[in-house]
Amino acid sequence: MMEDEKHMQVVAVAASEKPEPAMPHATTVAEFGVVDAPVCSAPYHSAASHLSACCHGGAKMAFLAYSLGKREINQYFSIKNAKLLSVAAVILLTLFHTVSRYYGGGDTCEWLLSSGRYLGETVWQPYGCMMHKYKNTEAKTCLADKRVAFVGDSRIRQLFYSYIQIIDAAQSADGRKHENIIFEDRSASVNVDFLWYAEVNNSLKERLISWRKDPSIKPDVVIIGAATWSIKLHGGSSEALQQYRANLTAISLPLEQLAEDGEVYWVLQDPVHEEGLSDNRKMITNEQLELYNKVVLSTLNSNKKNSKARVRFLGALRQAAMEAIAQSADGLHLPESTRNVAAMVLMNAVCNKVLRPTDGSCCQSLPAPSLLQKLMACVFLGSALVFLVLHALGHNRPWKSRPTPPDVESGEEKKPATAASPLNHKAPFQALSKMGLIMVYFYLCDRANVFMKEQKFYTHSTFFIPLIYMFVLGIFYSENSKETKLLNREQTDEWKGWMQLVILIYHISGASVVLFRLNFLVVVLCLVMDRPYQFYYFVPLVTFWFVVIYATMAMWPQIRQKKANGSGMWHVGILGKLLGLLLFICFFAYSQGLFENIFSVWPISKLFELNGSIHEWWFRWKLDRFAIIHGMLFAFVYLVLQKCQGLSEEKGEPLFSTRISNILLLISVVSFMTYSIWASSCKNKTECNELHPYISGLQILAFILIRNIPGYSRSLYSSFFAWFGKISLELFICQYHIWLAADTKGILVLIPGNPSLNIIISTFIFVCVAHEISVITNDLAQVAIPKDGGALLRRLLVAGVFTLGLLLVSRSAEGIQGGGH
């Protein structure tokens, strides 16, 4: 799936196409570095040489097969074909999910209440949506000034206790039976009552009618259910079932009337563990319970005309109970863990539409598009129209003739500027049109109720199996590097690639062009997905430090390479700047109040606040605050060593003298292993974060030396990892919405019911989209980033004014929205 297929073409193909020699000799492949050897059948060789020749020939053939295998893979799996396949997959999957929702029901509340499965032993996963784990403060906020009533038998009483424990963890069953129980939290005006009604009868009907007549005592939420006593008292007779149907019919109208302006949930009967039932409960069988459940489902909601007055059925508890009912103490009542699942399901059903938690996609309606989202839609539509008009008119005139700005991030600055052809006038609009289509996919994945979402769940196999598979592929695609300098471009791309892939696996299991590429995608996503800039924390962090570095080096006295080469005193000036930068960082690191005051001022706050707080930005800034000092100091030392000819960067040679290289390698390996052991055994995250800024640079330096001191190691790189390294930024940002879901809290589900196939398909589309965005961004950079300094300054000013305008529009929209509430 490499974009540049040429680097996978092996010279051995030419050798294999040559006519075979008259003598039965093995093929000469000097390009492989393998010496020609005669075939094994030569009669004049000794046994030892005969065996050696066989082994030598076998090695050559194995290497040839390996090289041809890579060639065949790249011949058919090019990035162009991959993108076409991904487009077809997106279209088909969008149609499939749209049709499924239309005909099969797309109500995520029904999904939450009706079905699900366990991830592991304790984590409940509803079908197709994510369930938020509510804390007591959230539950109190949601239920403030509301009344909730649990109505039924002892099973409902158990559910009542699990529910109020979410609000107040100190609550527990007090042993009261066959009576009403009142719970009240006066601090939040929350009232949750349990009303004892073991059977569906006239007494229950009168209670429901009284609620309907007197709104002052009517609960906002009713959770109701009963059947086991009817079975027990009447021995499971058919007459009792018919009477249950008649009584249920009598209360169906009051229930539906309560559901018109409230919420009513009927708890379907859970299975029992028949072997564990006492003698006076033996008639309560799973067969009987299923008959009573069928009566409920066929009797309630009989009025089809009034779709709003619907009683919802809690059936997910039955599935959860099937796996845990054997642990029941009496065979009838559920274990605590299962009851807690049901209580959390009910809390999500009631509160998700009120609090709208990011990781609670069940029971949430689509939010209305914001003003900025509508404006971005107009920009993309306008670009598409302009492109179509220019294409129809045949406008292919190129922009001003100038060298194409290099893709600094991927190392394109090393290529001759004349190698790239200039873009025509319609190319930017074509790129924006493509970006618009990609943003539609982003929106469908993480803002529209088209595709499903599920919670993350960590297991060792889901983390380590992809990790091992990834590194096997990385080794398979190992090649000779074009240059052997310390931290050459291919090696750094490789480094970024494997680090980004590890980050992706971790997440799914528990120069001007650079700045443009860093921020273009993020700014577009902020507008399309209605998320703050700080939400994509990596880009603000890198952008901030880039500006700091640039400002540090641009300040007087400006020290250029010619000056530094001419006199060693200029090196002291650079070290002085680094020292000043270090003091600046330390000052802010120990002045949190001043830091927060500065970054809380509008409009700066709009760039660095998250959920109305600057705390996340402070945490991210402080965690790696010395990283740029480490990097700049390393670059300084490297340039000094180059000038003093203290490095040997020729192919195959160690970076330093043999003795120094061995000593540094030993120190690096020990340092690397020591840090790894410390990091893996660190128990207190706060203490680890405090030490991290001071010692993380040693770990990075150790890895650089291990990777670069041996000449053979410096001469090889993994083209597989390097390919991903060139789009590492896009991979990091895109994962938020089209690989993960709910802003990284969950996982996008394109293929329901098959997690393995789902991750394969979603990953394939995700990588193709990330690569296409990288191409689009580089194309737009050619137009957006001029070579002339004055023109660049003017465009930066326009970009600043545009950003300020967006912030003002956003602020006005927030004010209007707040006034409406």
Three-class SS string for 132-161? Answer: CCCCHHHHHHHHCCEEEEEEECHHHHHHHH
| Pick from 440, 372, 448, 358: nearest CA to 606 | 372
Rounded to an integer, what is the distance from CA 421 to the centroid of its chain?
36
SS3 content of the chain, % helix, strand, coil (to 5): 60, 10, 30
The DSSP annotation for 519-577 comes to HHHHHHHHHHTT--GGGSTHHHHHHHHHHHHHHHHHSSSP--HHHHHH-THHHHHHHHH
Backbone angles phi, psi at 464, to 5 degrees: -80, -30
Q: What's the angle, vertex CA 610, arms to CA 608 and CA 616, rounded to 5?
A: 80
Helix (H) or strand (E) holding 454: strand 452-455
> Reduced to 3 states, what is the DSSP secondary structure of residue 40?
coil
Rounded to an integer, what is the distance from CA 427 to the centroid of its chain?
31
Helix (H) or strand (E) holding 714: helix 711-714
Neighbours of 669 (CB within 10 A): 13
Could you list the active site residues?
154, 330, 333
Reported for 379-384, long-range contacts at CB under 8 A and 24+ positions apart, including other chains, are: 379/432, 379/436, 380/432, 380/433, 380/435, 380/436, 380/439, 381/436, 383/429, 383/432, 383/433, 383/436, 384/429, 384/432, 384/433, 384/436
d(CA 130, CA 357): 10
d(CA 101, CA 97): 6
Three-class SS string for 368-385? Answer: CCCHHHHHHHHHHHHHHH
Total length of the chain: 821
Residue type, 657: S
